[in-house]
């Protein structure tokens, strides 16, 4: 049966640990200059409806380092669901490549690709979920704190697609998560229920100071995501008081994460991003290593 990676809870706790262990091993090999062509002559097809610097470069570089090849298909190269049904795209590509990574708007599109593809489909991001980011996030926390289970993490800001996958990942890994959002931007009931199925419902609050108190890690993301630009003024007003800045962090030694790109001066200050407690660029690098761990887990026989 073909394994897909549509959201982080497609992995069990044991499988998540295995993917992260593989990521650590690949990171060590790369830093030591040790070759690791474990996916030699295999090809990843990359479908991009939404552009991204980190997703494209990390997957393409990762496949190269694993001895394989990646093919980039942007909006002008392939029209997802327009001119050709998604089920036809999925089946045709399955005859050419060993895996498909897609970064699209609608979550239903990634689900349909997976339904008809006969090779693994990886969710590179949808409006609902960003599980590849969660792999890098958990790897970063494990490196910074030393373990995942029992670590205290505060999410501050918008419970967006990154937050939703992260909440599920924390539940699977045993991370103690508190989510601080304005009430209208809170974590939805479906993701709370899915987290509960792993026995770890996140604590929910509308008070950022309460969330970060005692936290080992504080995590934030943009308040205005791609496609939400027309809501800018409304969202800036709604998230007033939720900025991750030195005042919010004054009484904690917590490390700080952001999945990038950051709108410095909005959800996080330049001072925090560039400060000693920042894990932002380690987190960005870990996209590469985490995705290599995932690719090898999905594709190695």
Query: Is residue 243 among the annotated active site residues?
Result: no
To the question of whether residue 79 is assigned a binding role by annotation, the answer is yes
How far apart CA 163 and CA 152 sit, in angstroms, is 15
Three-state DSSP state, 24: helix
How far apart CA 134 and CA 124 sit, in angstroms, is 11
Query: Is residue 65 among the annotated active site residues?
Result: no
To the question of whether residue 118 is assigned a binding role by annotation, the answer is no
To the question of whether residue 181 is assigned a binding role by annotation, the answer is no
In the chain the first and final C-alpha atoms are separated, in Å, by 12
Q: Which of 7, 137, 259, 289 is catalytic?
A: 259
To the question of whether residue 287 is assigned a binding role by annotation, the answer is yes
Q: Which of 49, 133, 243, 283 is catalytic?
A: 133
Q: Which of 103, 142, 235, 289 is catalytic?
A: 103
To the question of whether residue 88 is assigned a binding role by annotation, the answer is no
* Token pair of 143 as six digits: 């490196």
Strands 99-103 and 176-180 come out as unpaired
To the question of whether residue 225 is assigned a binding role by annotation, the answer is yes
To the question of whether residue 131 is assigned a binding role by annotation, the answer is yes
Angle between helix axes 161-173 and 13-32 (nearest 10 degrees) is: 100
Q: Which of 51, 224, 218 is nearest to 141 (CA)?
A: 218
Query: Is residue 42 among the annotated active site residues?
Result: no
Q: Which of 4, 22, 56, 130 is catalytic?
A: 130
To the question of whether residue 54 is assigned a binding role by annotation, the answer is yes
Listed in sequence order, the residues at least 6 apart from 8 whose beta carbon sits closer than 8 Å to its beta carbon are 16, 129, 131, 134, 135, 165, 168, 169, 172
To the question of whether residue 49 is assigned a binding role by annotation, the answer is no
Query: Is residue 133 among the annotated active site residues?
Result: yes
14-43 burial, b at 16+ Cβ within 10 Å, e below that, comes to eebbebbebbbbbbebbeeeeeeebbeebb
To the question of whether residue 170 is assigned a binding role by annotation, the answer is no
To the question of whether residue 3 is assigned a binding role by annotation, the answer is no
To the question of whether residue 243 is assigned a binding role by annotation, the answer is no
Residue pair 252/282 in contact by the 8 Å Cβ criterion: no
Q: Which of 49, 287, 289, 291 is catalytic?
A: 287
How far apart CA 291 and CA 256 sit, in angstroms, is 22
Q: Which of 221, 258, 283, 289 is catalytic?
A: 221
Residues in binding site:
52-55, 79, 103, 130-133, 161, 221, 225-226, 259-260, 287
Residues in binding site for L-ornithine:
161, 221, 225-226
Residues in binding site for carbamoyl phosphate:
52-55, 79, 103, 130-133, 259-260, 287
List residues with catalytic annotation.
103, 130, 133, 221, 259, 287
């Amino acid at each position: 049966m073909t394994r897909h990676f549509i959201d982080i809870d497609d992995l069990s706790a044991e499988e998540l640990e295995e993917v992260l262990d593989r990521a650590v091993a690949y990171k060590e090999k790369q830093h030591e200059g040790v070759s690791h062509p474990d996916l030699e002559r295999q090809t990843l097809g990359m479908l991009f409806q939404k552009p991204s610097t980190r997703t494209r470069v990390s997957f393409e570089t990762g496949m190269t380092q694993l001895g394989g090849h990646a093919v980039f298909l942007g909006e002008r190269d392939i029209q997802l669901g327009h001119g050709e049904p998604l089920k036809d795209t999925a089946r045709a590509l399955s005859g050419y490549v060993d895996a498909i990574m897609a970064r699209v708007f609608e979550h239903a599109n990634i689900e349909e690709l997976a339904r008809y593809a006969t090779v693994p489909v990886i969710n590179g991001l949808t409006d609902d979920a960003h599980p590849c980011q969660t792999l890098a996030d958990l790897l970063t926390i494990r490196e910074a704190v030393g373990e995942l289970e029992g670590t205290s993490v505060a999410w501050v800001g918008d419970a967006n697609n990154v937050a939703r996958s992260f909440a599920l990942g924390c539940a699977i890994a045993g991370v103690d998560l508190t989510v601080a959002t304005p009430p209208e931007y809170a974590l939805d009931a479906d993701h709370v229920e899915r987290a509960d199925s792993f026995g770890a419902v996140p604590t929910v609050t509308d008070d950022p100071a309460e969330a970060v108190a005692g936290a080992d890690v504080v995590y934030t993301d943009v308040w205005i995501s791609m496609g939400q630009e027309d809501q800018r003024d409304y969202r800036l007003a709604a998230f007033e008081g939720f900025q991750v800045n030195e005042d919010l962090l004054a009484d904690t030694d917590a490390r700080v994460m952001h999945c990038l790109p950051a709108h410095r001066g909005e959800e996080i200050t330049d001072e925090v991003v560039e400060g000693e407690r920042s894990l932002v660029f380690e987190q960005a690098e870990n996209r590469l290593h985490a995705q290599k761990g995932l690719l090898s887990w999905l594709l190695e026989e």
